[in-house]
Amino acid sequence: MKKALVVFSGGQDSSTCLVWAMRKFDAVEAITFDYDQRHRVEIVCAKKIAKIKKIKHTVIDARFLHDMTKNALTRKNVKIEWKNALPSTFVPGRNLMFLSLAGIIAYQKGIQNIVAGVCQTDFSGYPDCRDAFIQSLQKTLNLAMEYDFTMHTPLMFLTKKETVELMRDFGEIDLLRHTHTCYYGKRPACGACPACELRLKGFREAGIADPLPYEKV
């Protein structure tokens, strides 16, 4: 029986990965991290989607990451800006932490497959979304626990357009109604922040209507 653990934020990408994993593995579990993120409404969304898909889902307390890092996703007084090479929304070490914690959980559950929705095509300047990082992390995790993890990142080389098309091919576009993307944590989504913009661009290019409600598009 092939088991997988999905690192699941409740966003578009990790929801697509969840659906992907349910088709690929015999048993799928999901974990969501609570790091007191600005857009922590995504945790509510993750719970809802896990319930709809009947997936065992655990929310992990990772508030230490909030306390340890100061950036636009962990501090409301830091402006969300994507003008520089490194956006103000970069949480240093976030994927390193989340995927390592996923490894610790998976190890204890006897799960060897870890699925994450990282993507270097639209990587937005985040170094920890790139394939070189994921490959290196897989090796590090295996050495750390003397275990045989495989990291799966089905969206790594897809554009946002192709990620939308993947969900269309899965017949799951409507599930994206429940996902969360907006950096400001708004529902309806703001439609204007860099995360909303990127999402909307993908739907537009795919010629598919985003089922998510927006304040303005």
| Chosen residue from 69, 112, 121, 124 binding its own copies by CB under 8 A | 69
**Binding positions for its own copies, 132-171, rule CB under 8 A:** 132-133, 136-137, 139-141, 143-146
Q: Does 70 bind its own copies (CB under 8 A)?
A: yes
Q: Find the part of the chain contacting its own copies (CB under 8 A) among 18-26, 103-111, 156-164, 184-192.
A: 103-111
Measure the CA angle with vertex 100, ends 98 and 106; round to 5°: 100
What does the per-residue mask of binding to its own copies show for 6-45, with x meaning CB under 8 A?
A: ----------------------------------------
Task: Please state, in angstroms and rounded to a whole number, the distance separating the CA atoms of residues 34 and 67.
Answer: 12
Give which of 86, 30, 80, 38 is closest to 59, Cα–Cα.
30
Give the separation between CA 78 and CA 179, rounded to whole angstroms. Answer: 24
Site for its own copies in 74-93 (CB under 8 A): 86, 92-93
Dig out the tokens for 41 from the structure.
């409404």
Query: Could you tell me how many residues of this chain bind its own copies (CB under 8 A)?
Result: 36
Rounded Cα distance between 119 and 195, Å, is 13
Residue in 41, 53, 107, 162 binding its own copies, rule: CB under 8 A:
107
Planar angle of CA 42, 12, 97, nearest 5 degrees? 65
Cα 158 from Cα 173, distance rounded (Å): 17
Q: CA-CA distance, 177 to 118, in Å (whole number)? A: 20
Q: Which of 26, 54, 79, 108 binds its own copies (CB under 8 A)?
A: 108
**DSSP one-letter code for 55:** -
Out of 127, 172, 185, 217, the only residue in the binding site for its own copies (CB under 8 A) is 127
Phi, psi of 27 (to 5 degrees): -140, 135
Q: Which is nearer to its own copies, 98 or 203 (CB)?
A: 98
- Using CB under 8 A, list all residues that contact its own copies: 60-62, 64-65, 67-70, 86, 92-93, 95-97, 100-101, 103-105, 107-108, 127-128, 130, 132-133, 136-137, 139-141, 143-146
